[in-house]
Structure 1
Amino acid sequence: MWIITVYSKNQSPTMFEFESEVEAKKTFQEIKGCKILSEVIYYNDGVPALA
């Protein structure tokens, strides 16, 4: 999952979620202002526990 966090002077931070990296990066280029692109990785999804 990919998250774009946008910070604005007049509003609280806004977050947008994307399933694909391509879509997130395309949108990231179009958004104006202070922004952060993050990839969220869940280590416990579908991974068996280590002994």
Structure 2
Amino acid sequence: MWIITAYSNLNDTTMFEYENEIEARKAFKEIQGCKILSEVIYFNNSKSALDV
């Protein structure tokens, strides 16, 4: 999961959630102002678990 956190001049914070990196990076380029792109990894998710 990818999250974009955008901050406005009015002290408002808006968060946008995306399922894949490509979609998130495309939206990140279009959002104006101060913004942060983060990847959220859940360790209990079986898709991202390592096989040992």
- TM-score, normalising length: structure 1: 0.84
**RMSD (Å) for aligned C-alpha atoms:** 1.1
Which runs of no fewer than 5 residues in structure 1 stay unpaired?
none
- Residue matched to 1:40: 40
Answering whether residue 34 of structure 2 is matched by residue 23 of structure 1, we say no
Moved over 3 A (4+): none
- TM-score, normalising length: structure 2: 0.83
Aligned length: 47
2:5 aligns to what SS in structure 1? strand
Q: Distance in 2 between matches of 1:3 and 1:31?
A: 13
Which runs of no fewer than 5 residues in structure 2 stay unpaired?
none
- Structure with a larger share of its residues in helix: 2
- Residue matched to 1:2: 2
Q: Distance in 2 between matches of 1:30 and 1:24?
A: 10
